Structure 1
Amino acid sequence: MVRGKPVILVVVALLAGMLAGVSPAVATTPFFWGVATSGYQAEGSAPDSNWRRYEQAKTSSIKEPYLQSVDFRHHYAEDIDRAKQLGVNVFRFSVEWARIEPRPGQVDQAELAYYDDVVRHVVDAGMRPMITLDHWVYPGWVADQGGWDSDRTVDAWLANARRVVDRYKGFGAIWITINEPTVYLQNETANGGLAGWKLPWAQARLVKVHRAAYDLIHSLDPGALVSSNTAYIPAAQGILDASFLDQVRDKLDFAGLDYYYGASLDNLSAIHAASGEFWKVTPQPDGIYYALRYYARKFPGLPLYVVENGMPTDNGNARPDGYTRSDHLRDHIYWVQRAKADGMNVIGYNYWSLTDNYEWGSYQPRFGLYTVDARSDATLTRRPTDAVAAYRQLIAGHGVPAGYTPVRPPGFCSVVDGLGSCLDPARYPGPVAPLG
């Protein structure tokens, strides 16, 4: 998920935004309902990696120790079963390079067997794996050779990608090459893994590996869907896309976006994300509509997939305004259905995340459908939130029913897509289209 300082751009770029036409295409494939996790954030038993080193060095991002996170590494079978019981048909996870290649050229067969079993459980549960090749984590030995400041990382990264894709081809996987590339490198600079002035060269390397990985995956796993997911930053996305997404447009099978925080003239609370106080942000559900419309207009004809969406709470406590996780989920799905009804080719939605996890330095923001006290509960018991039943109902009903009224109404003059979303607002109330 998106973290921290990039959200400052919400204020800086409020006047950005362009108007263009929306493609009327509608998806013909079944809708992808999913849940998401990532390796370092959830697995526990963390091997040597850039992020393990940041945690041990207590860089500025680190608020508390990693511990064992929620130990997905040893609870994956039951967690995958929980996802199955929701009715989702996609399970997103990452295959951690640092885990399977702890030293250059040395492959840990036991860890590969673990991922083999994860894939088998996902497929046996009737879900498609969505496999992320890089969710911000690389081996410690790659850090030693310069991380994304080194051309050697490009070759090593692609060798690992070939290993993973060749192993899990033919399982109906949806492939994510790099999670939130722009935020990835911003976090690298914030944690000392990359000098800020070297960002352009590092960005060029990420573009290079995505383009090569796209072709590699299609050669090894024909028919697979391949993309990268971008963290949608209100009003500033056009600027951010220039560093990555615009350069790989011809190597995307869908536009993958992560939407967490919106903005409107009566809601600029997203600034709290800059200090890591995500739970203080007032949700802006209608913003997901404008984020989807932005990409429908930017990339006409390209399917759209919400790869991540969710709501943080403060250590699992209820929000002071009474807005619940189930309210947040239903309201966002309502606006996804509004996008679908208005002709946007939305093909999927993943909830972030299945369980609480280590949010890149802290356990305080709780995003899970199932909450877990990683700090003090030795059993790491998964406890369902109110959103578990809500998500199950939404999936079974193909979304909210006709006539649903969002708990949180649209903001006044949304600036999620600059002034374009204010000057050309969605009709409200308006029709919804079933998802799948």
Structure 2
Amino acid sequence: MRAAVVALALILTASVLSTTTAGAAPTEFLWGVSSSGFQSEGSSPDSNWSRYSASGRTHDPIGAAVDFRHRYREDVARAADLGVDVFRFSVEWARIQPHPGRWDETELAYYDDVVAVIREHGMIPMITLDHWVYPGWIADRGGWADPGTVAAWLANAERVVARYSGLGAMWVTVNEPTIYVQKEITFGGLFPTEVRRMFDGLVAAHREAYTLIHRLDPGAKVTSNVAYVPGAQPYLDTLFLDRVRDSVDFVGVDYYYGVAPGNLTAIHAAVDDFAAVRPHPQGLYDALMDYTRRYPGVPLYVVENGMPTADGAPRPDGWTRSRHLHEHVAAVARAIDDGAPVFGYNYWSLTDNYEWGSYTPRFGLYTVDARTDPALTRRPTDGVEAYRTIVGGTP
């Protein structure tokens, strides 16, 4: 299996995708890693999620997370050592605009250096503008239920895009809009009666941001990544993705769980028991082929794909991160062979992080015991060598 997947990786890396859309994909297949600000940075400023964490409604408080805020240089270097092309992170609105009309130049300088370090290592920054976190002062105004949030969000987007235009970045406007809405309802940031208003706001924000990015950063590629839910996705896409179809240069696909007659374990994800969900690589192939059929001619990029363990323990089903990587990369290669215009794959995530209320699910190539290890030591899992081998294309 390992040699076969390495051969597929070589094919992927050398693949040239023929597209005729205005948002044509790069000609090389891109390998990357994903992360997000709130989940990994620590030193959390006031935000909706710092409040949720402090409310006692989460399994764990955020604490220092894995302290990417102060360890980004070493973590970016770890990504570069894998040989990847892309490093995805988010610029946290709550960090750079702690109060209305006030921008924190120290925190902007921090993100300046993150971008610079990524580029120094020869990687492409994939910058997420909104990974489910907004400032506390926006929460005080009602969050996404407040009609003024869209304008405030766009002011932040313009500040960030203008600062990093011309640096070869790829842009993700809103991370997983449907799950964003669901989390806001779960933790009290949104009443169920306001769901449509939030989706309308996210659609408006994305559409305006798409135009803004193409004006300020000509040639940049823009998306909003979708959390793929098998069976339900065509309906879920009517809430957001179908409404911005003319404002994406590629579809970002996040895939974690599939459903099949012999594998119904995805139900465990509904109660955040992620490590009890048995991986289903065929589902990634199915997701990519689904978008190939429903969005003909639109390039695809796997923005997130990964597998959790529970507190770093071996999985009861015997799946390892190495096996997960090899079999999911093979699924991507099969989809490309069958006509899916996929031009990139990111593993979620480089390190373990705060999984929206808990440190139990660990997705990282490098594991970090955020609960009990004050040194926050990064320890490589078997996924590190597996991914390095796949990316490098060497048997």
What TM-score comes out, normalization by structure 1 length?
0.85
Correspondence for 1:46: 44
**Would the aligned equivalents of 2:172 and 2:222 in 1 still touch at CA under 8 Å?**
yes
Correspondence for 2:315: 319
**Would the aligned equivalents of 2:79 and 2:87 in 1 still touch at CA under 8 Å?**
yes
Correspondence for 1:102: 98
Report the residue type matching 1:226 in the other structure.
V
Deviations along 1:284-334, one digit per CA (max 9) or x if unpaired, are 011100000010111100000000000000100111222110000000000
- CA shift for structure 1 position 25: 4.6
Q: 1:337 aligned to 2:333? A: yes
Matches within 5 A, 1:8-87: 25=18, 29-59=27-57, 62-87=58-83
Q: Please give the alpha-carbon distance, in whole angstroms, between the structure 1 residues aligned to 2:79 and 2:98.
A: 30
What SS does the corresponding residue of 2:161 show, helix, strand or coil? Answer: helix
Correspondence for 1:364: 360
Correspondence for 1:427: none
What SS does the corresponding residue of 1:184 show, helix, strand or coil? Answer: helix
Deviations along 1:366-424, one digit per CA (max 9) or x if unpaired, are 000000000111111100000100001101118xx8xxxxxxxxxxxxxxxxxxxxxxx
- CA shift for structure 1 position 211: 0.2
Q: Please give the alpha-carbon distance, in whole angstroms, between the structure 2 residues aligned to 1:68 and 1:362.
A: 13
Pick aligned residue for 1:239 from 214, 227, 235: 235
**Would the aligned equivalents of 2:278 and 2:317 in 1 still touch at CA under 8 Å?**
no
Pick aligned residue for 2:275 from 279, 293, 312: 279
- CA shift for structure 1 position 357: 0.2
What SS does the corresponding residue of 2:224 show, helix, strand or coil? Answer: strand
Report the residue type matching 2:371 in the other structure.
R
Pick aligned residue for 2:116 from 111, 117, 120: 120
User: After TM superposition, what 4+ stretches of structure 1 lie above 6 angstroms from structure 2?
Assistant: none
Report the residue type matching 1:93 in the other structure.
F
Q: Please give the alpha-carbon distance, in whole angstroms, between the structure 1 residues aligned to 2:169 and 2:232.
A: 31
Q: Please give the alpha-carbon distance, in whole angstroms, between the structure 1 residues aligned to 2:197 and 2:65.
A: 33
Q: Please give the alpha-carbon distance, in whole angstroms, between the structure 2 residues aligned to 1:64 and 1:160.
A: 29
- CA shift for structure 1 position 28: 6.0
What SS does the corresponding residue of 2:281 show, helix, strand or coil? Answer: coil
Q: Please give the alpha-carbon distance, in whole angstroms, between the structure 2 residues aligned to 1:130 and 1:145.
A: 30
Report the residue type matching 1:52 in the other structure.
S
Q: 1:377 aligned to 2:373? A: yes
Correspondence for 1:266: 262
Q: Please give the alpha-carbon distance, in whole angstroms, between the structure 2 residues aligned to 1:25 and 1:123.
A: 27
Pick aligned residue for 1:199 from 195, 200, 215: 195
Correspondence for 1:174: 170
Q: 1:158 aligned to 2:154? A: yes
What SS does the corresponding residue of 1:63 show, helix, strand or coil? Answer: coil
Report the residue type matching 1:87 in the other structure.
G
What SS does the corresponding residue of 2:351 show, helix, strand or coil? Answer: coil
Query: Where do 5+ consecutive residues of structure 1 fail to align?
Result: 1-23, 402-436
Pick aligned residue for 2:222 from 222, 226, 229: 226
Report the residue type matching 2:347 in the other structure.
Y
Larger relative helix fraction? 2
**Would the aligned equivalents of 1:25 and 1:301 in 2 still touch at CA under 8 Å?**
no
Q: Please give the alpha-carbon distance, in whole angstroms, between the structure 2 residues aligned to 1:343 and 1:274.
A: 32
Q: Please give the alpha-carbon distance, in whole angstroms, between the structure 1 residues aligned to 2:264 and 2:340.
A: 27
Deviations along 1:227-283, one digit per CA (max 9) or x if unpaired, are 000100010001100000000000000011100000101111000001110000011
Q: 1:343 to 1:28 in 2, by over 3 A?
A: farther
**Would the aligned equivalents of 1:25 and 1:343 in 2 still touch at CA under 8 Å?**
no
| Number of residue pairs the alignment of both structures matches | 374
What SS does the corresponding residue of 1:240 show, helix, strand or coil? Answer: helix
- RMSD over equivalenced CA pairs, Å: 1.1
